[in-house]
Amino acid sequence: MRKAFTFLELIFVIVVLGIVASITSEILAKMFDGYIVSRTYNRLQTKTEFAVQQVAQRLSYRIPNTAIAKNTGGGYVPLRSATGNEDILEWIGRDFEGFRGNWDTLANRYLPLWSGFIDLDNAATTQSQFFSTVTKPLSLHNRLQTLSNNQVGLTVATQNPAIFFKGRLDDTQIAQYWNSTVSDYAYPVQCSGVCSDANSVLAFRENFNDANPGTLDLRMYEQYYLSYSAYAIVPAGNGVWDLYYNYQPWENETYQNGTRVRLIDGVSTFRFKQVGDVVRLKLCATEHNGDQNITVCKEKAIL
């Protein structure tokens, strides 16, 4: 007699296989959902971290007290007076690349293209120009041209960088230069005569004299910052924030005259506030994943 499965046994096997398949498919579905959530979370982590680092890196080279906060379509306040509800962050950055300079094989170190120091006792320092130790005007001009896509330089044919005297930067009203055609803080400079690394003299584009009594602080300080660009973080709508750079407020430019790049999308929160000398940032980005929202937030404190 040949042995075989009974009909009841077949039904039992089919039921068991169905139960196993149902459990397996549910496990696989949960694993897939978990993978999608994990991938979305990791993507949000990466892009928020990148965006915060981009802002923090540039903010770390801000010229003190030049940061301002704005509301879209409204006025501005110095960042230290911001309420935390503004949506545009803007500041002047000092030239890091030129200050770092070029590698000198003989000295076996980087030598700066501008030193940040004025020799007030040097005969070359006058109301129209100043002697700045180890400053290399031609090399600095070439570096600024590269950084600004040939927009900024130290010749007459270009828009000029500006210097900010450190002795003036304690004034919390420095932000006034953002809407002033004649600034008491930003002084555009050019090569003194022909650009050459053989000297360390830079000229003020407008003589540093008493042409407008009461509107110009005539004090020249020993230390200065040099800047070729301002920066702005601006909402573009629909959760998108853009970074603007390569524009010069002392040339009556706004961020709309600058170069714009996408910083991050999917932003649900962007907050910034200055406490003392520290700027605090908070950035949150959100993505929809089926019937749930996944949000990642990053915070940063920048000196």
Region at 224 (left for phi over 0; alpha for psi -120 to 50; beta for the rest): beta
Instruction: Please state the rounded mean pLDDT for residues 71-93.
Output: 85
**Banded pLDDT at 6 (limits 50, 70, 90):** confident
More confidently predicted of 280 and 13: 280
Instruction: Output the pLDDT for position 215.
Output: 46
Question: Which region among 27-31, 106-110, 234-238, 253-257 has the lowest average model confidence (pLDDT)?
Answer: 27-31
Question: What pLDDT, on a 0 to 100 scale, did the predictor assign at position 216?
Answer: 47
Residue 185 has pLDDT above 50, yes or no: yes
pLDDT at 19: 75
In the chain, what are the domain boundaries?
48-65+230-302, 96-227
| pTM of the predicted structure, to 2 decimals | 0.84
The pLDDT of residue 34 is 65
Question: What's the average model confidence in pLDDT over 49-67?
Answer: 92
What's the average model confidence in pLDDT over 83-99? Answer: 91
How confident is the model over 88-97, as a mean pLDDT? 93
pLDDT at 246 exceeding the cut of 60: yes
Q: How confident is the model at residue 213 (pLDDT cuts 50, 70, 90)?
A: very low
Of 170, 172, 168, 152, the C-alpha closest to 160 is 152
- Inter-residue contact 52 to 298 (CB < 8 Å): yes
pLDDT at res. 136: 92
Say how many CA atoms lie within 13 Å of 138 toward its Cβ.
7
DSSP letters spanning the chain: ------HHHHHHHHHHHHHHHHHHHHHHHHHHHHHHHHHHHHHHHHHHHHHHHHHHHHHTTBPTT--EEE-TTS-EEEGGG--S---EEEEEE--HHHHH-EEETTTTEEE-S--SBB-TTSTT--SSEEEBTT--HHHHHHHHHHHTTTSB-SSTTSBPPEEEEGGGTT-GGGGGGGG-SS-SSEEEEEESSS--TT--EEEESS--SSSSTTTS--PPPSBEEEESEEEEEEEEETTEEEEEES--GGGT--GGGSEEEEEESSEEEEEEEEETTEEEEEEEEEEEETTEEEEEEEEEEE-
Res. 21: pLDDT tops 90: no
Q: Provide mean pLDDT across the span 102-131.
A: 89
Q: How confident is the model at residue 41 (pLDDT cuts 50, 70, 90)?
A: confident
* DSSP string for 137-197: HHHHHHHHHHHTTTSB-SSTTSBPPEEEEGGGTT-GGGGGGGG-SS-SSEEEEEESSS--T
